[in-house]
Amino acid sequence: MTNKMDERLESMYQDVLRRNPGEAEFHQAVREVLETLGPVLAKYPEFRERKIIERICEPERQIIFRVPWQDDRGEVHVNRGFRVQYNSSLGPYKGGLRFHPSVYLGIIKFLGFEQIFKNALTGLPIGGGKGGSDFDPKGKSDNEIMRFCQSFMTELWRYIGDTTDVPAGDIGVGGREIGYMYGQFKRLTSRYEAGVLTGKGLDYGGSLVRTEATGYGATFFVEEMLKVRKDSFDGKRCVVSGSGNVAIYTIEKITQLGGRVVACSDSNGYILDEKGLDLDLVKQLKEVERRRIKDYVEYRSHARYVAGGNIWEIPCQVAMPSATQNEINGHDAKTLVKNGCIAVGEGANMPTTPEGIKVFLDAKISYGPGKAANAGGVATSALEMQQNATRDSWTFEYTEKRLANIMKNIHQNCYETAEEFGAPGNYVVGANIAGFIKVAKAMVAHGLI
C-alpha cells in the first residue's frame, strides 16, 4: 500500500509474524491495519503505553474442537471446528461461522481481526469474533448438513450466549444451517434464547432485511462514495463477483438504484449478460435449486458463460467483489482501472490484495474496503439482537431505513477520519483509524485485562 510502516509498528508486526507462523491471511489483515496507525499513536500516546496494539492483535480466546459426523451411507467423517473470540471491549463477540474446505485457524483469525473494526464502525455495541469449520457443505444432503450442524453445536453451545458471543452465517452457512444449529442449541440448553444466533428464519426470531443486508449495505456505501464525486449508480455498468447471498442482494440494490449489472460468477467461471442479469433467474438457480451459475445460459441463450474466466477483465464502471478473500490482485486492479472503473465496493472480506489496493488508491478511484463497505450484514445482525432482546419485530421498511442510515454514518465517519489524519478520500485509512480508536479507547477505560 502507500504507507511505510512506523518503526515501532514494524517491530510489533514482526512479533505478530513470529507468534503466528503460517497464517498468511491473518498477517495480511494485521499489516493492512498497522500501516495506517502511525499518526494515531502520535496523537494518543496512551495507546502505546497501554500496549493496545499488542493486545488487540492477540485474541482473548481461541477454541478449536473436533466435529465428528456421519454421512447418509453411515460413513464417519471428522472435521475441525473453530471459534475465535477476539475482542469484547464494545460488546459480546459478534461474527459469522464459515463452512468451507479452506478454513483453518489463520482464516478465522483474519476474519475475526477485521470484524473487531468493522463492528466498531457500525456504532452498535458489539465486539469481534469469528468461527467455522473446514467442512464442505457442497453436494451434501439436507440430512448430512443437519447431522454436521448438530455435532458442531454440541461443542460450540458452551461458549456462546446472547450476552457472551453471538455467531451468524458466512460462506457456506445460510438460513438452513443456522436453523439446524439453533435447534440443537435449544435442545442442549432447554432455553429459547433467540439472541444467541443471528440470521435466523423469520418464523423464529429472524429479522427482515438480514438476508439482504450485506449486499444492500455495500451498495449504500458505494452510493455515498459516488455522491462525494457528484455521481450516482444511474446508468452505470456494474460487475459483481460471486453469486451467493452477498452478490445476489448487491445486484438487486444496484438495479433498484438505476445501475445495470452485466456479470456475476461462482468458483467455476462467470456469466456475462449484456442486457443486464435476470435476477429472478439467478435467485432461482442459486437460492432455490442450489445449481451452478453456468446453468443461467440454458435459459438466456444470448448470455455467455466463461468457464474459469476472470470476471475482472469485463469492462465496468463499478466493481463489487462479493465472493472471497484476495480475488482481485494487482493485475486485476490495473485492468479495472484501465477499463474505466471509478468505484470499488467490497462486499466480501479482504477481497483485494495489498498490490490491488495500492493500484486503486494511486488511481484515486473511490475504494470502499470491506470493513466499512460490508458492515451492513453485521449491523443488521445487531438490529436482530435488539428485536430479540425486546421480543419485537420490525417492518422491512423500518429495518432497511436503519441499515441505510448506519451505512451513511459509517461512510461519513471514514471520510471525515481520513481528512483528519491527512489522507483525504482514503477510506482504508479512515476505516482503520475510526474503528481502531473506538476499540482502543474502550480498552483503555477497562484497564489491563
Query: pLDDT tens digits for 351-404?
Result: 999 999 999 999 999 999 999 999 999 999 999 999 999 999 999 999 999 999
Return the CATH architecture of domain 61-192.
3-Layer(aba) Sandwich (3.40)
Question: Using an 8 Å Cβ cutoff, are 247 and 271 in contact?
Answer: no
Q: Is the dihedral of CA 143, 149, 151, 154 positive or negative?
A: negative
Angle (nearest 5°) at CA 106 between 9 and 31: 20
Q: How far is CA 216 from CA 38, 91, 122, 345, 363, in A?
A: 33, 25, 15, 11, 26
pLDDT of residue 429: 97
Answer yes or no: is 417 a known binding residue. Answer: no
pLDDT tens for 104-118 read 999 999 999 999 999
Architecture of domain 1-58+426-449: Orthogonal Bundle (1.10)
Is residue 140 over pLDDT 80? yes
Provide, rounded to the nearest whole percent, the portion of the chain with pLDDT above 90: 96
pLDDT band at 290 (very low <50, low <70, confident <90, very high): confident
Which 3 state secondary structure label does DSSP give 242? coil
Whether the predicted pLDDT of 3 surpasses 60? no
User: Does 245 count as an annotated binding residue?
Assistant: yes
Instruction: Answer yes or no: is 115 a known binding residue.
Output: yes
Q: Mean pLDDT score of the chain, rounded to an integer?
A: 96
Mean per-residue pLDDT, 190-217 = 95
Please check the confidence at residue 32 and state whether its pLDDT lies above 70: yes
**Number of neighbouring beta carbons within 10 Å of residue 275:** 10
Instruction: Supply the pLDDT for residue 205.
Output: 95
pLDDT of 323: 94
Of 291, 233, 300, the closest CA to residue 266 belongs to: 291
CB within 8 Å of 300: residues ≥ 6 apart:
273, 278, 281
Q: Which of 109, 130, 253, 371 is catalytic?
A: 130
pTM of the complete model beyond 0.75: yes
The answer to whether 130 is a known catalytic residue is yes
Phi and psi at 15, nearest 5°, equal: -65, -40
Best CATH choice for the domain 213-364 from the list 3.40.50.1700, 3.40.50.720, 2.60.40.1930, 1.10.3720.10 = 3.40.50.720
Beta strands in 298-447 (DSSP E): 304-307, 318-320, 343-345, 366-368
Q: Which helix (H) or strand (E) segment is 156 a member of?
A: helix 142-156
Q: Has residue 2 got a pLDDT over 60?
A: no
**6 — pLDDT class (breaks 50, 70, 90):** confident
- Is residue 169 part of an annotated ligand binding site? yes
Rounded Cα–Cα distance for residues 362 and 3 (Å):
12
Residue 341 confidence class, pLDDT cut points 50, 70, 90: very high
Mean pLDDT on 65-83 = 98
pLDDT category of residue 431 using cuts at 50, 70 and 90: very high
pLDDT in tens, 161-175: 999 999 999 999 999
Confidence band, pLDDT 50/70/90 cuts, at residue 332: very high
| In contact, 448 and 54? CB cutoff 8 Å | no
Give me the helices (H) in 238-375, please.
Answer: 245-256, 279-283, 296-299, 330-338, 354-362, 370-373
**5 pLDDT above the threshold of 90:** no
Considering only 147-151, 180-184, 323-327, which range has the smallest mean pLDDT?
A: 323-327
* Average pLDDT score over residue span 309-323: 97
Which residue type occupies 303? A
Is residue 175 within 8 A of residue 353, CB to CB? The reply is no
Q: Dig out the grid coordinates for 174 from the structure.
A: 445460510
pLDDT of residue 129: 98
CATH 3.40.50.10860, the chain: domain bounds: 61-192
Residue 243 pLDDT > 90:
yes
User: Could you read off the pLDDT of 271-287 as tens digits, one per residue?
Assistant: 999 999 999 999 999 98
d(CA 143, CA 146): 5
For CATH 1.10.285.10, the residue range(s) in the chain are 1-58+426-449
Percent of the chain with pLDDT over 70: 99
To 5 degrees, how large is the angle CA 352–CA 356–CA 358?
120
Q: ∠40-43-48 over CA atoms, to 5°?
A: 70
SS3 301: coil
**What are the φ/ψ torsions at residue 60 (nearest 5 degrees)?**
-65, -35
Q: Is 258 annotated as a binding residue?
A: no
With cut-offs at 50, 70 and 90, classify the pLDDT of residue 1. Answer: very low
